Structure 1
Amino acid sequence: MSDAASLHTYALSILELLAHEAPADEIENLLHAALDASPNPEQSAYLERASQLGLEVLALFSQRQKREADMAALIDTARDLTYPHDLDSLLRVIIRQARRLLGFDMTYIALQDENGGGWHIRMSEGETADLHIGLQVEPGYGFGHALKRNAAFWTPDYLRDGRIQHTKRMDDVVRGEGQRAILAVPLHRGGTPFGGLYGSDRAVRHFSPHEAGLLRILADLAAVAIDKSWVLDQARADVDDLEDDAHQARLQVARMRGLLEAERRLIGLVLGSGDVSAVTVAASDALDSVLVVRDTSGQTITATGDIPDLDERSVARALLDAQAGNCPVAAENGVRIAPLQASGENLGSLFVHPHGALTPEDEQLLQLVAQCLTITMLLQRRAVVVGGPVRDELLDDLLADPPSHSQRHLVDRAARLSIDLAEPHVVVVARPVGGEQGRAGVWAASYAHRLNGLKGVLSGCVVLLLSGNDASDAAKRVSAELSSLLSNPVTVAAAGPTRGAADAGRVYREAMRCLDVVTLLQGNGATAALDDLGFLGLLLSDDRDIDGFIDSILGPVLAYDSERLTGLARTLQAYFEADRSPTHAADVLHVHPNTVSRRLERITELLGPEWQKPQQALELQLALRLQQSRSALRTQGRTASQSDGDL
């Protein structure tokens, strides 16, 4: 083969290796083999030149593949940056991709302060010692001037680079991290830098323009993503603010609706002849507060709770200020005091102890509450003045003995006052001590009006006819309210319920006898109903309910015997007859003493632990005697009926 043909064949071989993307080693091996076979210097030069060109082409292929890989990585990074991230997550994606793309030992991002001051490191990866989040990057740290000019800057060995304006603090940080080569590119918005993206190696490294350009492209993508993240964060903050404003607006609307509803309810109570207590309870719910209404003497008319630790001296000063200004004023412990005044006349005062701070709307509602209470008190006083004589005359006629009018006439008069005498009523009598019948009578008129009852003053006592079945509860309520009004004790008694209009006189006489007995036994200031007196109540009653007395005292024992066919009542009778000796009672019953003891334990479970105390024991013995007599009479009655049948 000629030399020209041989050289042509060698060139084709180089092209085939390039076409198959063979590694550089194969080109070098082919060159060595050709040089060994051809000692001609001219041919050798040709072979070396052909091989060099092949290696250069192969290097170009490698660079192009590297750039294609870098661009693919940038595209992936751009795709990652389009996903919604918070700022810290976004920065971490950026520095991680920068480190992976360029093979840095460490990457970090510095951002400008919100106030436009210095730069601080916001996120880093690959640090080992001194480079901390929040570290301020001084202008002399490498390339501040270059970044401000929106240009990239790099150095192969930071500490030895004389172009850099060094500072001891930053040099110590770089030295502590072992950094040498550093590449920095700006993050900019509209040509104005707001931060920098840094990559560094712990060995000397000469960065190529391609590497600088690659990091610059990544920085441009990062700047857009960071700017978008800031915009999104601001948008989220604006949305949160709008949601907060909307929430506050909804709360305000709900509060205003609640206040309007409370105002309608209060006005409805006033127009519907509601009493002071009803208005106070409704206002307490609306204001979420404890309310206390006092009269002009400082006595409590009604309250929804207690207001502790009130200094009456400071209260008196605040009350004077409130009355002088005719508006609510603040007292101690967060209490508000509002005057109850009409046309210059003082009717009392309203104390408000809120559970929380009062809003301006609450302050307005407080003034409305004071006005509603004032109007209610005026209406009640007017109703008492106008209707008082008519109602007093009706009570006098109901209690008269003998009756001065027919029952039908009394029932019709009561119906015109919206009082149904066919319903059960109780009679409460109160005897104030110390000659305070006048104040007690005024209070009784208001109290009877509130409860749609009747009041009168007879024999030095306040008399009330009130709807209901529970005389004991009515007596306790009257005692609690009237005693707090007067400075002296009040003795209260009650009886009932009535069974029709004709029964009112009898119940009144029973209540008066109960009042005398309570005063004699317990003294002034005591409170009781006829049913509370046990067997004494039975003796004082005109309509003696013996069965009811027996059931109230002995009922649980009799019911137990009836259900289980036991002899607890007989054991109890024998126990009392044996002078409370279980042993003697066992002899009478012909049982073992332990049996008597067990039965007595069962009786204690049924009647309570105090059944052996003197008063209850006396009532038990009386009930046992009455029960024994009742059983004997019923037995005699059945025997007589059988005898009559036989005849």
Structure 2
Amino acid sequence: MTTGREQRSGQSEPDEVVENVARVHQELEERREREGALNGLIDTVRELAEQQSRTDLERMLTRRVRLLLGLDAAFIGVQAADGSRVVRAPDGHVSTMLNMGMATPAGVGLGSWALQANAPAWTADYLADDRFEHDEVIDDVMLSEGLRGLIAVPLARDPASSTTLYAGARSARSFTPEEVSLASTLGQVAGALLRRSAALDEAEAARGELQRRLERAEARAREGLPPLLDRLLSSVLGGAELSALAAEIAERLAAAVCVRSADGRELARAGTPDRGWPDPEDVRRAAPWTRPTGGPVAVDRRTWAAPIRAGADDFGLLLAVFEEPGAADAAERVRAAATALSVTALLRVHGPISEAQIRDELLSQLLTESTATDPQAARRREQRARHLGIELAEPHVAVAAECGPGEPSASVLSWADAYARRRGGLRTVQGERLALLLPGGDPGAAAAEVAAELRRVCGRPVSAGGAGPASGIEQARRAHEEALRTLEALGALGREGAAACARDLGFFGALLSDRRGVGEFVDAELGPLLAYDRQHCTELAGTLEAYLATGGSPTHAARRLHVHPNTVSRRLERIGDLLGPDWQDPERAMELHLALRLTRLRELVSADTPG
């Protein structure tokens, strides 16, 4: 017999108790999930705030949003006012296509929709969603990446560009209100941090410029005219060639300088003015060498011209373009420089072959003529180098730089003379390429320094390949050949304007260099990871191999390894700490995959080899 309460509720008391318990359990589970998401959000905000650079901030943001939402890929898109798009800080497995710049019209794609609304926008299936305007280029990228579910969160916007955070899955996927709220909060925090980072960068750039101006002003105050002329004359009497002297004048005057002959031909140049060289007609009208005093004349507020004259002989003209107008002692400093050039001109008229020509000829012979079968010729060249203050038995690095099109200009040769002399090395020209042999043991650093300085001289990116260290004539010649191969490889890989040595090119470097083997390549790519596995009995190498083999999907990698996806995610974070933040870049991922394959092959060969 049922009671009135049971009749009214339609269920017995035990059933009601079970239902209440289930409801309480569900509420507790939802509360734990919310607390977990909140803790993850707090940890992410703290880690974002700890990043020191914009690059690190963006990489941390894409990694965390991908892991918090359980997605396959995340990246940041920057769209300029002209419609071009650039992808930064991709996380997860993405192809080269996503990293390429794209040109698209304004107002298309999910990101433009989010920017217009100034709020997150999301779709369960990007290509099938007709709520926003599509673009063929963006659709092709999404199709090639296999991305379907996608969320876009605006980060920052200004008249010149806009920045958006994207995170997506390679399957149709809906986003819950909690996930959208989480992504929106991260976007607001990251946007504020990005604005702070940009402001700090601008402040640091302004501080650096003020510091440089102060240093130049202090240097000019310390260096009076007599010391300036004494130092320049010391360089002249020490055998400095015209191009090297022009480079030294440019450095001491903090100006771009050009030396011209009496008939107007350019003899040497050092530096490039920010606003370009003055109009030749303006210089001709100034005609300072025809004036009775023969002193410097101001062509404009920044430019001074001074005759290079000795007695009744006119040797040419010195042009000096200062970075800042109105220097009080500019005229007298230019006069001192012109005096030193006059002495150089007299020595050239009456002097024998220059030391620069001797050094150029020596390096040309060292790099092109083998002495392997002629020990006497090798000793003679070593002795010639020793007379120039160069000990070929010591470690040297070879650098080859692409300065074309055409043969290196006078300004490049001027810089090369001064740089080689300053470093205690040699330089020569081979067609469109500049070859240097410099003391040292780090070919990558030497190539990077040469490329950076030549970029300032040429006003455009310059590629440079390095090789070495090498000791002796034959090793130096082989290092030069390797530097040329590295330079050609940079062009073949589409890395114009880059600087590298064989070890920087990974497996391609192993093909270029006859000194690197498979073992060195594997150690260079996976050394820290393999060492960590050995010391801690972990399976990070196997996890990395499974992750790369499954297209960069933590979920699929977890199935292959028979572990939980969270375990894979934690291992991937440790892998990133050991291999560096760029380990998922397409080229680096390919080299890591190859190194893992070679590791497996070496293990098989070792197992099959009789003990």
8 Å CA contact 1:610, 1:616 repeated in 2: yes
One-letter amino acid of the counterpart of residue 279, structure 2: R
Counterparts in 2 of 1:578 and 1:439: CA distance versus 1, 3 Å: same
Aligned to 1:421, the other structure's residue is in SS state coil
Counterparts in 2 of 1:486 and 1:575: CA distance versus 1, 3 Å: closer
Counterparts in 2 of 1:459 and 1:321: CA distance versus 1, 3 Å: closer
The corresponding residue for 1:203 is none
The corresponding residue for 1:328 is 296
Residue among 429, 433, 441 paired with 2:400:
429
Shift of 1:591: 2.8
State the TM-score, normalizing by the size of structure 1.
0.48
8 Å CA contact 1:427, 1:508 repeated in 2: yes
Aligned to 1:619, the other structure's residue is in SS state helix
Q: Which moved more, 1:332-341 or 1:538-547?
A: 332-341
CA distance in 2, matches of 1:545, 1:371: 57
The corresponding residue for 1:516 is 488
One-letter amino acid of the counterpart of residue 312, structure 1: P
CA distance in 2, matches of 1:560, 1:369: 60
Counterparts in 2 of 1:483 and 1:496: CA distance versus 1, 3 Å: same
8 Å CA contact 1:514, 1:540 repeated in 2: yes
CA distance in 1, matches of 2:457, 2:232: 26
Asked if residue 364 in structure 1 is aligned to residue 332 in structure 2, the reply is yes
The corresponding residue for 2:215 is none
The corresponding residue for 1:294 is 258
**1:532-571 equivalence runs, <5 A:** 532-558=504-530, 561=533, 566-571=538-543
Could you list the runs of 5+ residues in structure 2 that have no partner in the other structure?
A: 1-219
The corresponding residue for 2:171 is none
Shift of 1:589: 3.6
8 Å CA contact 2:268, 2:414 repeated in 1: no
The corresponding residue for 2:249 is 280
CA distance in 1, matches of 2:424, 2:564: 61
Residue among 422, 425, 431 paired with 1:453:
425
One-letter amino acid of the counterpart of residue 317, structure 1: V
CA distance in 2, matches of 1:433, 1:403: 32
Shift of 1:421: 1.1
Shift of 1:582: 1.8
Counterparts in 2 of 1:395 and 1:383: CA distance versus 1, 3 Å: farther
The corresponding residue for 1:415 is 386
Residues 194-246 of structure 1 show CA distances to partners (whole Å, capped at 9, x for unaligned) of xxxxxxxxxxxxxxxxxxxxxxxxxxxxxxxxxxxxxxxxxxxxxxxxxxxxx
CA distance in 1, matches of 2:437, 2:245: 20
One-letter amino acid of the counterpart of residue 283, structure 1: R
Aligned to 2:555, the other structure's residue is in SS state helix
Residue among 553, 566, 570 paired with 1:598:
570
Asked if residue 581 in structure 1 is aligned to residue 547 in structure 2, the reply is no
CA distance in 2, matches of 1:298, 1:321: 16
One-letter amino acid of the counterpart of residue 358, structure 1: A
Counterparts in 2 of 1:314 and 1:518: CA distance versus 1, 3 Å: same
One-letter amino acid of the counterpart of residue 505, structure 1: R
Counterparts in 2 of 1:357 and 1:412: CA distance versus 1, 3 Å: closer
Aligned to 1:351, the other structure's residue is in SS state strand
Residues 543-583 of structure 1 show CA distances to partners (whole Å, capped at 9, x for unaligned) of 11545544443345446556665443332122223343323
The corresponding residue for 1:239 is none
CA distance in 2, matches of 1:277, 1:562: 58
Shift of 1:396: 2.0
Shift of 1:394: 5.4
8 Å CA contact 1:319, 1:337 repeated in 2: no
8 Å CA contact 2:399, 2:443 repeated in 1: yes
CA distance in 1, matches of 2:255, 2:581: 41
Shift of 1:521: 3.4
CA distance in 1, matches of 2:500, 2:346: 33
The corresponding residue for 1:625 is 597
The corresponding residue for 2:372 is 403
One-letter amino acid of the counterpart of residue 258, structure 2: R
8 Å CA contact 1:426, 1:465 repeated in 2: yes
CA distance in 2, matches of 1:315, 1:634: 76
The corresponding residue for 1:317 is 283
8 Å CA contact 1:493, 1:515 repeated in 2: yes
Aligned to 2:509, the other structure's residue is in SS state helix
**1:44-59 equivalence runs, <5 A:** none
Shift of 1:612: 1.9
The corresponding residue for 1:497 is 469
Aligned to 1:534, the other structure's residue is in SS state helix
Aligned to 1:502, the other structure's residue is in SS state helix
CA distance in 2, matches of 1:481, 1:503: 26
The corresponding residue for 1:223 is none
CA distance in 2, matches of 1:576, 1:489: 34
Residues 119-170 of structure 1 show CA distances to partners (whole Å, capped at 9, x for unaligned) of xxxxxxxxxxxxxxxxxxxxxxxxxxxxxxxxxxxxxxxxxxxxxxxxxxxx
The corresponding residue for 2:322 is 352
The corresponding residue for 1:193 is none
Could you list the runs of 5+ residues in structure 1 that have no partner in the other structure?
A: 1-253, 285-289, 641-647
Counterparts in 2 of 1:262 and 1:589: CA distance versus 1, 3 Å: same
One-letter amino acid of the counterpart of residue 293, structure 1: V
One-letter amino acid of the counterpart of residue 422, structure 1: A
CA distance in 2, matches of 1:319, 1:493: 45
Asked if residue 506 in structure 1 is aligned to residue 478 in structure 2, the reply is yes
Aligned to 1:312, the other structure's residue is in SS state coil
CA distance in 2, matches of 1:589, 1:380: 76
Counterparts in 2 of 1:273 and 1:630: CA distance versus 1, 3 Å: farther
8 Å CA contact 2:298, 2:305 repeated in 1: yes
Shift of 1:541: 0.8
Larger radius of gyration: 1
Aligned to 2:372, the other structure's residue is in SS state coil
Residues 5-50 of structure 1 show CA distances to partners (whole Å, capped at 9, x for unaligned) of xxxxxxxxxxxxxxxxxxxxxxxxxxxxxxxxxxxxxxxxxxxxxx
8 Å CA contact 1:432, 1:490 repeated in 2: yes
Q: Which moved more, 1:481-490 or 1:621-630?
A: 481-490
CA distance in 1, matches of 2:322, 2:368: 42
Q: How many residues align?
A: 377
Aligned to 2:397, the other structure's residue is in SS state strand
Aligned to 1:419, the other structure's residue is in SS state coil
Counterparts in 2 of 1:316 and 1:553: CA distance versus 1, 3 Å: farther
Shift of 1:584: 3.4
One-letter amino acid of the counterpart of residue 545, structure 2: Q
Residues 411-457 of structure 1 show CA distances to partners (whole Å, capped at 9, x for unaligned) of 33321221111222222334565553796996697355565433445
The corresponding residue for 1:235 is none
Shift of 1:535: 1.6
CA distance in 2, matches of 1:400, 1:416: 20
Residues 33-91 of structure 1 show CA distances to partners (whole Å, capped at 9, x for unaligned) of xxxxxxxxxxxxxxxxxxxxxxxxxxxxxxxxxxxxxxxxxxxxxxxxxxxxxxxxxxx
8 Å CA contact 2:467, 2:482 repeated in 1: yes
Shift of 1:539: 0.7
Shift of 1:587: 3.8
More RCO (CA 8 Å, sep 6+): 2
CA distance in 2, matches of 1:594, 1:383: 76
Aligned to 1:554, the other structure's residue is in SS state helix
Residues 358-405 of structure 1 show CA distances to partners (whole Å, capped at 9, x for unaligned) of 15xx64344213323565688799787456257525542454346253
Shift of 1:313: 2.7
Aligned to 1:463, the other structure's residue is in SS state strand
Residue among 583, 595, 599 paired with 1:611:
583
Counterparts in 2 of 1:571 and 1:402: CA distance versus 1, 3 Å: farther
CA distance in 1, matches of 2:448, 2:295: 36
Shift of 1:597: 0.7
8 Å CA contact 1:456, 1:463 repeated in 2: yes
Q: Percent identity?
A: 36
Aligned to 1:612, the other structure's residue is in SS state coil
**1:246-261 equivalence runs, <5 A:** 258-261=224-227
Aligned to 1:580, the other structure's residue is in SS state coil
